[in-house]
Amino acid sequence: MAEAALAVSGLRKAFGALVVSDDVALEVRTGECHALIGPNGAGKTTLLAQLAGEVVPDAGTIRFGGRDVTRLGPDARARLGIARSFQITTLIGDFTAEDNVALAVQARSATSMRFWKPAARDAALREPARAALVRVGLGARAGTRASDLAHGEQRLLELAIALAQEPAVLLLDEPMAGLGHDESHAMIALLREIKPAVAMLLIEHDMEAVAELADRVTVLVSGRAIASGSYAAVRTDPRVREAYLGDDG
Amino acid sequence: MVSFGHAAYFAAGGYTVAVLAQHGIDAALIAWPAAVVVAALLAAVVGALSLRTTGIFFIMITLAFAQMVFFALVAVKAWGGNDGLPLDARSVLPGIDLRNASVLYFVCLGLLVAFVALAAQLVESRFGMVLRGARSSERRTLALGFPTFRYKLIAFVVAGAGAGLSGALWAEYARFVSPDMASWTRSGEFLVMVILGGLGSLAGAVYGAAVLLGLESFLAGFTEHWMLPLGAILLVIVLFAKRGLYGWLAGTNDG
């Protein structure tokens, strides 16, 4: 069997006495969505930050396509093909939606040390950027400043940026956060469409999205992965019900 | 990111011209590029260290380097130490008579226009997109795969080279260089120009310089305590037009 696109083992991170990742192991295969769920403060976002290279783990290894990337910074990992979306929308506010995506296209194209030609008229950047915007349904909003977009549109733009990076691994930090009912459904449909081409790690509180998208679910509580399996298996696991899903599971 | 040490590159450019002249090299086509290169190299060293920090630490480190340059210039007796180094004559530019003050003025103006045009092109280029992205959100820019440090260093070196060129022209104009060129009050003056004109815009910096120097001569015509009303004017601008004069004139949405 081929090696997983992203494989994590023995990952440990503590901030002083607070252990946020406690011997975490998980893997994500291409074409698969692996959901990471758990109560607030379980260490999900810190785990994602370690996978993206923003936070250096104390111990353990992160392998990307068989290669040890544990010591690489976020920019190097992004160049290898690990893209992420941010939980709190992190857009370049005074750029248009299209500029935001064009910058991601530029990051893939390896030549950013160009000092003369105006980037705004660079078809090699603009066409893929528009295509990514159309794909998430923001084609008509390409010229709008990112900070002027509605919340739901900003979440879609986050995704368009990640798609434009043409990643092999896609780390999504609560893409549904703050979306209305219809917007959530559109986002789920979009992620389902993207899934076959990438290895997707999804942090999400929206259980409907997890049920729809996840092939595997890992439950994180106090930095520990207490259960892992299909959504159906995990939701009936007594430890999980006790720790997380509570009575409404 | 605010550099509080641009006087160092200004002085580096000026001293390069003066020291070359001291050794008999008075060709502007050699001295000016040399000034730019010396200033750029100095900026590369300072930038490589200071750009690892941000905010107040960045300001302090750039200031500390400028102070080192200042005291180094005071200490070098061969270059006049504290007294500075006069230039016997302006450099020679083939076909252009720099001894004529208005000719020198237009040469300076032409170089200013060229540098601003170059910088404006840079801002709009792919390189500039990365830089503007990093200014707005360094985290996002890193997550896209850009090693932001490298981009910031190049920008820092370009800014240092520009300051070096202006230092060279200043030396030609004044026919004199002194450690004062590297003093922290000089860096402060540069910053006042930028803040007055509007942070983060090229046109703003040019406006700021023109307005500051204009106000200085205008107010000095009334009183020798011209700094007092100037300070009050600065205060009003900082409090009421946070984007500087240019930002205020150009409207709120135009960067």
Put simply, the answer to whether A106 touches B140 (Cβ < 8 Å) is no
Question: What length is written for chain A?
Answer: 249
- Residue B198 and residue B247 in contact, taking contact as beta carbons nearer than 8 Å: yes
Which of A106, A145, A147 is the best mutation test for B, with the most CBs of B within 10 A? A106
Backbone angle region of B145, left / alpha / beta, with phi > 0 → left and psi within -120 to 50 → alpha = left
The nearest CA of chain B is from the CA of A56 a distance in Å of 15
The nearest CA of chain B is from the CA of A101 a distance in Å of 10
The Cα A192–Cα A195 span in angstroms is 5
Identity of residue B57 = F
Counting beta carbons within 10 angstroms of the beta carbon of residue A148, is it exposed (0 to 12), middle (13 to 18) or buried (19 or more)? middle
Q: What is the pLDDT of residue B236?
A: 85
Put simply, the answer to whether B129 touches A75 (Cβ < 8 Å) is no
pLDDT (tens digit, 9 = 90+) per residue, A95-125? 999 999 999 999 987 676 677 777 777 888 9
Identity of residue B167 = G
pLDDT confidence of A249, banded at 50, 70, 90? very low
In chain A, which residues fall in CATH 3.40.50.300? 1-81+167-249
* Range from A135-149, A170-184, B103-117, B208-222 carrying the lowest mean pLDDT: B208-222
Angle in degrees, 0-180, between the axes of helices B202-220 and B184-197, rounded to the nearest 10: 110
Which of A51, A75, A91 is the best mutation test for B, with the most CBs of B within 10 A? A75
- Residue A34 and residue A8 in contact, taking contact as beta carbons nearer than 8 Å: no
pLDDT confidence of A2, banded at 50, 70, 90? low
Mean pLDDT score of chain A, rounded to an integer? 89
pLDDT (tens digit, 9 = 90+) per residue, B62-88? 999 999 999 999 999 899 888 889 988
**SS3 state of residue A22:** strand
Within 8 A of A74 by CB-CB distance, chain B residues are 142-143
Identity of residue B186 = R
Which of A115, A145, A159 is the best mutation test for B, with the most CBs of B within 10 A? A115
The nearest CA of chain B is from the CA of A38 a distance in Å of 25
Counting beta carbons within 10 angstroms of the beta carbon of residue A171, is it exposed (0 to 12), middle (13 to 18) or buried (19 or more)? buried
* Range from A31-40, A67-76, A116-125, B228-237 carrying the lowest mean pLDDT: A116-125
pLDDT (tens digit, 9 = 90+) per residue, A155-192? 999 999 999 999 999 999 999 988 888 889 999 999 99
User: Which tokens hold the place of B72?
Assistant: 């180094």
Mean pLDDT score of chain B, rounded to an integer? 89
CA nearest A86: which of A34, A15, A157? A157
Put simply, whether A45 touches B (Cβ < 8 Å) is no
User: Which tokens hold the place of A147?
Assistant: 């900070």
Q: What is the pLDDT of residue A245?
A: 55
What DSSP designation does A2 have? Answer: P
More confident residue, B107 or A120: B107
Put simply, the answer to whether B140 touches A113 (Cβ < 8 Å) is no
Q: How many pairs of residues across A and B have Cβ atoms under 8 Å apart?
A: 96
Q: What is the pLDDT of residue B251?
A: 60
The proportion of chain A whose per-residue pLDDT surpasses 70, expressed as a percent, equals 95
The Cα B5–Cα B200 span in angstroms is 17
Put simply, the answer to whether A75 touches B128 (Cβ < 8 Å) is no
N- to C-terminal Cα distance for chain A?
34
User: What is the helix, strand, coil percentage profile of chain B, to 5?
Assistant: 75, 5, 20
- Residue A168 and residue A199 in contact, taking contact as beta carbons nearer than 8 Å: yes
User: Which tokens hold the place of A29?
Assistant: 């295969």
Q: What is the pLDDT of residue B254?
A: 41
Which of A112, A126, A173 is the best mutation test for B, with the most CBs of B within 10 A? A112
Q: What is the pLDDT of residue B72?
A: 94
Question: What length is written for chain B?
Answer: 255
Put simply, the answer to whether A125 touches B126 (Cβ < 8 Å) is yes
Torsion of CA A29, A31, A36, A37, to 10 degrees: -150
Put simply, whether B159 touches A (Cβ < 8 Å) is no
As a whole number, mean pLDDT of residues B21-29 equals 90
Put simply, the answer to whether A106 touches B130 (Cβ < 8 Å) is yes
CA nearest B9: which of B48, B55, B45? B45
More confident residue, B48 or B26: B48
More confident residue, B107 or A235: B107
Q: What is the pTM of this model?
A: 0.86
pLDDT (tens digit, 9 = 90+) per residue, A38-50? 888 889 999 999 9
Put simply, whether A73 touches B (Cβ < 8 Å) is yes
Put simply, the answer to whether B126 touches A114 (Cβ < 8 Å) is yes
Pick the CATH number of A1-81+167-249 from 3.20.20.70, 3.90.1300.10, 3.40.50.300, 2.60.40.180: 3.40.50.300
Which residue in chain A has the smallest CA separation from B255? A94
The nearest CA of chain A is from the CA of B227 a distance in Å of 36
pLDDT confidence of A53, banded at 50, 70, 90? very high
Put simply, the answer to whether B121 touches A102 (Cβ < 8 Å) is no
Q: What is the pLDDT of residue B150?
A: 93
* Sheet arrangement for strand A67-68: A18-28, A6-15, A59-64, A67-68
As a whole number, mean pLDDT of residues B172-196 equals 90
pLDDT (tens digit, 9 = 90+) per residue, B125-171? 999 999 999 988 999 999 999 999 999 999 999 999 999 999 999 99
Beta strands of B91-187 (E only): which ranges?
Answer: 176-177
Alpha-carbon distance values, A209 to A12, A35, A151, A168 (Å): 28, 10, 18, 21
Within 8 A of B146 by CB-CB distance, chain A residues are 75, 107, 112
H or E element, residue A34: strand A33-37
B8 phi and psi angles, rounded to 5 deg? -60, -40
**SS3 state of residue B177:** strand
Q: What is the pLDDT of residue B10?
A: 96
The Cα A148–Cα A108 span in angstroms is 26
- Residue A159 and residue A89 in contact, taking contact as beta carbons nearer than 8 Å: no
Where are the domains positioned within chain B?
Answer: 6-182, 183-255
Within 8 A of A112 by CB-CB distance, chain B residues are 126-127, 129-130, 146, 151
Q: What is the pLDDT of residue A112?
A: 67
> Given CA atoms B168, B169, B172, B174 in this order, what sign does their dihedral have?
negative
ipTM of the complex: 0.87
Angle in degrees, 0-180, between the axes of helices B148-174 and B126-136, rounded to the nearest 10: 100
Q: What is the pLDDT of residue B255?
A: 37
Q: What is the pLDDT of residue B192?
A: 86
Put simply, whether A86 touches B (Cβ < 8 Å) is yes
Which residue in chain A has the smallest CA separation from B117? A116
pLDDT confidence of A244, banded at 50, 70, 90? low
Pairing of strands B85-86, B176-177: antiparallel
